[in-house]
Chains A and B, each alone.
Chain A
Amino acid sequence: MPVVEIENLTKDFSVGFWRKRPVRALDGLNLEVHRGEIFGFLGPNGAGKSTTIKLLMHLLHPTSGDARILGEPVSKVSMHQKIGYLPENPYFYDYLTPAELLTYAGRLFGMRGAPLAKKVEGLLESVGLSHARNLQLRKFSKGMIQRIGIAQAIINDPEVVFLDEPMSGLDPLGRMEVRRIITSLKSSGVTVFFSSHILPDVEALCDRIAILNRGRLQEMGTLDQILKTRFEGHEAVLSGVTPEALDYIRKWCDEVWSMGDRLHVRIGARDNFGALIAFAFEHKLELVSVNPIRPSLEEYFQSAVGSRQPAVAAFGG
């Protein structure tokens, strides 16, 4: 059974004071998240990512459509016992310490006493905040807030966590930390659903992704599935190429350049690529490496989404 099922989810907002015009923030979203995977939710600003997550958390009421988490409707409060959530740009109570915050969160899950205290200590340790356990939260840096945010999201050992822009505003070290936490979550069997617009992270972490644009789902699937559709050929590196061989090779290749004693070629058409391989074999040229060319997620994103939104903001936080 999928961990998250979203069926035809639509959300309209009424905007305007007198004459209310409905603005469709989310349009007929269909989506499934499977157990144990890291699911990335991408899209430019205003695409509807946060709206989707808030609908899942029942912070917003859907206009139409259905959503279920762990088989239960999202309106069922008791289901929240098994999930965790980190909001976008989180903020926690100024005057509490992280230990107090985690204890508060734990109590709301029904934990108490010594087991709770132990859990709190363990969590602080695992997110690297033990040194700050008695510092009031208003003195925390953004990265520290993010980490305590994740801690409060997982204190109940949830089956699935929802992270809304967990990397936003973090420096590279901070992002690495969060990445580490996410991968360790996955290895404990937790399903992770997170939204982001930091593409390298998504590329590195996610099993499957969905791309949202202007409230509509544009693509969904594994990275390979998405990017494979835009096959652009192969790139090969050869060494020991004689100038005569080079002349031959040139006619198959779109691009040729040498680096040191190595020759890099780029071949678009499959047939040409086949010919090159056969040629290399015959003439005992050394094939150092062969790679299919696919656009980076960033490039794909830019073309898929950027083309329809000429003013799309730069990615990467």
Chain B
Amino acid sequence: MRRILTIARNTFRENVRDKILYNLILFALVMIFSSIALGQLTLGNEEKVILDLGIAAISIFGMLIAIFIGIGLVYKELEKRTAFALLAKPVHRYELILGKYLGLLFTLLVNLSVMTAGLELALLYNGNASGWAYVRILPAVYMVFLSLAVTTALALLFSTFSTPALSALFTFFLWIAGHFGRDLLSFGELAKSAPVQWLCRAVYYALPNLGNFDIIDSRSVLQTVGYSRPIDPVAVAGSTAYCILYCGALVALAVFVFMRRDFK
């Protein structure tokens, strides 16, 4: 366990010193602050726009960070052979995988915190939201974090056996597919043939259902009259459980693949 944490810490340190991280965070913050300007266009609905755009920005840039760093997580270790020296120490292969995964999760957590702080500031500048809205942003960002945990697990899995370019492609593609899973299901229901329906259902369950993490939006944060949606703790628990299960499956698979590999 200790070794996993040691590796996680080292991964975090490596990531934090990587410049690409800062560029992405910068872009995210720019987007968040420009939402203030965009909000002016909606005449009286600025908070909604700031929140919608802000959460979207955090989600998208978080996804980019997860992918960019995630795909290199294992691949870089192998290509640069740092993994060799690592595995020659009393380190199990699964410890390497788990350590890298946790390290990246922690990196994401820190990034999300920075971006969330920016969002809170933007909201503060706008000044229209109620006090509790600032607190309710946190569960919204938590959901983004859950979806990023899944994205990272995907990137991790691909990086155990594929090149960075392909890993990035697959992960990105699956991230998009994960948002349209329901539509795939509808498509399957519209199609008349049973095998197609069954296939669509099977694929639907296999895909990461990122819609599960869409349950807290600007309505839930703002909770103004006529524009509100309750935050349901049971639903949040359900989404958390889904994240844990799905990531568990992906990470277990990643370990399995990694264990069997020859490192040429």
B residues near A58, Cβ cutoff 8 Å:
87
- B14 on the A face (CB < 8 A): yes
- Given A78-B90, A80-B88, A152-B85, decide whether A61 and B262 contact each other with a Cβ distance below 8 A: yes
Residues of A that sit less than 8 Å from B by CB: 13, 54, 57-61, 77-81, 83-96, 100, 104-105, 107-110, 149, 152-153, 156, 162
Contact with A59, one of B80, B89, B262 (Cβ below 8 angstroms): B262
A residues near B7, Cβ cutoff 8 Å:
108
Would B80 and A91 count as touching, CB distance under 8 A? Answer: yes
B residues near A94, Cβ cutoff 8 Å:
14, 17
- 8 other A-B residue contacts (CB within 8 Å) besides A59-B262, A89-B81: A94-B14, A95-B17, A96-B10, A100-B13, A104-B6, A105-B89, A108-B6, A108-B7
Would B85 and A90 count as touching, CB distance under 8 A? Answer: yes
CB within 8 Å of A: which of B8-32? 10, 13-14, 17-18
Quote the shortest CB–CB distance from B235 to chain A (angstroms): 40
B residues near A83, Cβ cutoff 8 Å:
88
- B86 on the A face (CB < 8 A): yes
Quote the shortest CB–CB distance from A164 to chain B (angstroms): 9
Q: Which residue of A lies closest to B6 (CB)?
A: A107
Would A108 and B88 count as touching, CB distance under 8 A? Answer: no
Quote the shortest CB–CB distance from A156 to chain B (angstroms): 8
How many B residues face the partner with a CB closer than 8 A? 25
Would B88 and A91 count as touching, CB distance under 8 A? Answer: no
- B173 on the A face (CB < 8 A): no
A164 to B82, CA, bound (A): 14
A83 to B2, CA, bound (A): 20
- Given A59-B87, A108-B89, decide whether A93 and B262 contact each other with a Cβ distance below 8 A: no
A residues near B260, Cβ cutoff 8 Å:
61
A residues near B81, Cβ cutoff 8 Å:
87-91
Would A93 and B14 count as touching, CB distance under 8 A? Answer: yes
Contact with B90, one of A61, A96, A108, A152 (Cβ below 8 angstroms): A108
The 4 A-B pairs at the shortest CB distance, nearest first, are namely A85-B88, A95-B17, A80-B90, A87-B84
- B132 on the A face (CB < 8 A): no
Would B262 and A60 count as touching, CB distance under 8 A? Answer: yes
A183 to B230, CA, bound (A): 72
Would A93 and B82 count as touching, CB distance under 8 A? Answer: yes
Would B13 and A108 count as touching, CB distance under 8 A? Answer: no
Would B90 and A109 count as touching, CB distance under 8 A? Answer: yes
